[in-house]
Amino acid sequence: MSDKKPKKRVAHQKAKDSTENLSPSVRRLVKEYDLDVTQITGSGPSGRIGVGDVMEHLGDRVLPPQKKGGILDPKKGSSSRQTSVSQQIPYATTIFECVMASVLAEQRMMQSTGDGFELPVYYINACAKTLSTMPEILCDQLPISIGVRLEERQPNSQIPIISGVDKLDMTAIRKILSNLETLEEKTPAFTFCYHGASGSLMGGPATLSEGQIASLGVGKLHKRAVVGTLEEQDVLQTLPMCYVNLTYNSESIDTHYANRFLSLFVETLEKWPQ
Report the distance separating Cα 136 and Cα 134, nearest Å: 5
Backbone angles phi, psi at 134, to 5 degrees: -125, 70
Q: What is the pLDDT of residue 161?
A: 92
Q: What is the pLDDT of residue 3?
A: 52
Residue 214 pairs with which residues in a beta bridge?
Answer: 190, 248
Q: What is the pLDDT of residue 248?
A: 92
CA proximity to 268, closest of 108, 213, 260, 217: 260
* pLDDT 10s digits, 228-267: 777 788 888 899 999 999 999 888 888 899 999 999 999 9
Domain range list for the chain:
4-62, 87-270
Mark the ranges of the chain whose per-residue pLDDT is less than 50: 5, 7-17, 63-87
Q: What is the pTM of this model?
A: 0.67
Structural class in CATH, domain 87-270: alpha beta
Largest CA distance in the chain: 83
* pLDDT 10s digits, 159-185: 899 999 989 999 999 999 998 888 888
Q: How wide is the angle at C-alpha 259 spanned by C-alphas 257 and 264, nearest 5°?
A: 95
